[in-house]
Amino acid sequence: MNRRPQRGHPHLTGRQRILSLDAESDHHRCVIRILGGGICFATATVPAGTPSTGLPELRQRFAAWHDPIPSLLTAADPDAVLHNDIYELPALKSYVKGRIALLGDTAHAMTPNLGQGACQALEDAAVPARVAAQDGDLTRYDAERRPRTQMIAARSNGIGRVAQLGSPLAVRLRDTALRLIPSAAQFKALAPVMDWQG
Ligand SMILES: Cc1cc2nc3c(=O)[nH]c(=O)nc-3n(C[C@H](O)[C@H](O)[C@H](O)COP(=O)(O)OP(=O)(O)OC[C@H]3O[C@@H](n4cnc5c(N)ncnc54)[C@H](O)[C@@H]3O)c2cc1C
């Protein structure tokens, strides 16, 4: 769990301030980031298409979690809850056709396990301007962006598979392995994702 100090709790009206709170347990994840407006998202590992009752289900699933998750759910507006399954795009053969280039999720919608979907959309957006200033050949955009974004999408998918392991033995092995890997090595493994220079 990553948790920083919070202000404005429990009702978070007016100048709302929370900050950052990530928690994971037993195939559920809850992420809260609120600054002024506010958005929280929660995930549960269930088959796509599983019906949901919206806020009542969230309150029930997260009832036993630590403060402030249950109290925020108590205060939430049922009409403000959006429920979606998470899908990813299969790896496309090209992001470019003629003078049309796909950017962001249209090109590489990925699972959110690495927190990279919007980051990659921003990186995408920087490249066509550079290409336009050179010779306008959009295949350069495809050659530069497709391998990188598909590598990151594949990594994100892999992390999701490991994070969603169901067998207690596999979970114990995973958790032990993660504890044993030094954080420096974990950061190093992320370097290809984080070190884009544009
Ligand atoms: C739970 C979750 C957590 C995430 N966390 C992170 C994170 O921590 N970090 C990160 O980098 N990414 C994260 N992402 C991914 C990120 O939200 C997306 O990758 C990003 O929003 C993609 O940006 P986009 O502009 O390509 O598409 P979108 O954000 O989907 O924008 C497309 C826009 O086009 C509009 N639109 C669609 N059709 C039409 C039309 N016909 N006419 C006009 N407008 C239209 C849509 O309404 C939408 O506003 C997360 C995603 C999820 C689901």
Q: How far is the CA of 37 from the centre of ligand 1 (A)?
A: 18
Most informative mutation of 105, 119, 124, 155 for ligand 1 (most atoms within 8 A of CB): 105
- pLDDT, mean over the chain: 84
Task: Name, of 7-16, 83-92, 99-108, the range with top average pLDDT.
Answer: 99-108
> pLDDT at position 21, please?
57
**Ligand 1 within 6 A of CB of 125:** no
Residue 34 has pLDDT above 80, yes or no: no
Sign of the dihedral defined by the CA atoms of residues 95, 99, 104, 106, in that order: negative
**Ligand 1 within 6 A of CB of 88:** no
Q: How far is the CA of 86 from the centre of ligand 1 (A)?
A: 12
Nearest alpha carbon, ligand 1 atom 2: 112
Mean pLDDT of the region 118-134: 95
Q: How far is the CA of 167 from the centre of ligand 1 (A)?
A: 33
Atom of ligand 1 nearest to the CA of 120: 11
DSSP character for 33?
A: E
Q: What's the pTM value of the predicted model, to 2 decimals? A: 0.83
Q: How far is the CA of 105 from the centre of ligand 1 (A)?
A: 6
Question: Of 158, 47, 63, whose CA–CA distance to 111 is shortest?
Answer: 158
CA–CA separation, 142 and 140 (whole Å): 5
CA–CA separation, 17 and 162 (whole Å): 33
Write down the residue that tokens 């207690």 correspond to: 168
61-82 pLDDT, tens per residue? 888 887 878 888 888 888 888 8
3-12 pLDDT, tens per residue? 443 444 544 5
CA–CA separation, 64 and 23 (whole Å): 13
Q: How far is the CA of 117 from the centre of ligand 1 (A)?
A: 8
> pLDDT at position 180, please?
93
Contact 154, 88 (CB under 8 A): no
Q: How far is the CA of 166 from the centre of ligand 1 (A)?
A: 29
> pLDDT at position 173, please?
93
Angle between helices 183-194 and 138-163 (to 10 degrees): 150
Give percent of the chain above pLDDT 70: 81
Cα 51 to its chain centre, rounded Å, is 22
> pLDDT at position 103, please?
98
**Residue 41 backbone phi and psi in degrees, to 5:** -135, 150
**Ligand 1 within 6 A of CB of 119:** yes
**Ligand 1 within 6 A of CB of 89:** no
139-171 pLDDT, tens per residue? 999 999 999 999 999 999 999 899 888 788 998
> pLDDT at position 71, please?
85
Residue 193 has pLDDT above 60, yes or no: yes
